[in-house]
Structure 1
């Protein structure tokens, strides 16, 4: 979340195994209790897809009041979110709070 408040973002909030990825331009793998890449930079309008490649469930959840709120993602499940506004979005796994990631959205 940027320092001037939470930016607007719209989510194609989908979770489930398989399925097609919407206009994939950014992707994050969840494996070995880590988000890879941990730091991702994309342009506004980009849909980012998180895929759980781990053997245990994980979440993608914004720190504070951000827009990311995935359900628990089992192995093979995906979560999509479209970032519509520039800013810095930090997130974590609520099941494993030591797991952190950041998406920086540029104009």
Structure 2
């Protein structure tokens, strides 16, 4: 059975501290649905960002971007996530309440 020297252990500990924290987590963004509004309604993000919509209303909502993504019907405290892998402008709405709209600009 091999043993790890103090020197090797120290090098491993320093190397671990220098590793970046998960970049994906740093690029996660939240949108809340509250009082029939997406908040924020407009968002600018980087490619690769994951956006999570959470329904805080006491009635169901959806998130739909024609041809790109569609959530299931979300009850209170349900959420839906989508990772934006291509630049562009994504306009979305609630299919149950079409007056609820939002947009995300990915660049």
> TM-score higher than 0.5 here?
yes
TM superposition shift of 1:78 = 0.5
Higher relative contact order (CA 8 A, sep 6+): 1
SS at match of 1:84: coil
Instruction: State the Cα deviation string for residues 14-67 of structure 1 (Å, max 9, x = none).
Output: xxxxxxxx73521100000010000011100000000001110000001x32x1
The structure richer in helix per residue is 2
- Runs of 4+ off more than 3 Å: none
Q: Which runs of 5+ in 1 are unaligned?
A: 1-21
TM-score of the aligned structures, taking structure 2 as reference length: 0.74
SS at match of 2:92: strand
TM-score of the aligned structures, taking structure 1 as reference length: 0.74
Q: Does 1:34 align with 2:37?
A: yes
The structure richer in strand per residue is 1
RMSD over aligned Cα, in angstroms? 1.2
Tell me the residue number matched to 2:51.
Answer: 48
TM superposition shift of 1:68 = 1.8
Q: Which runs of 5+ in 2 are unaligned?
A: 1-23
Distance, in Å, in 1 between the alignment partners of 2:43 and 2:30 is 8
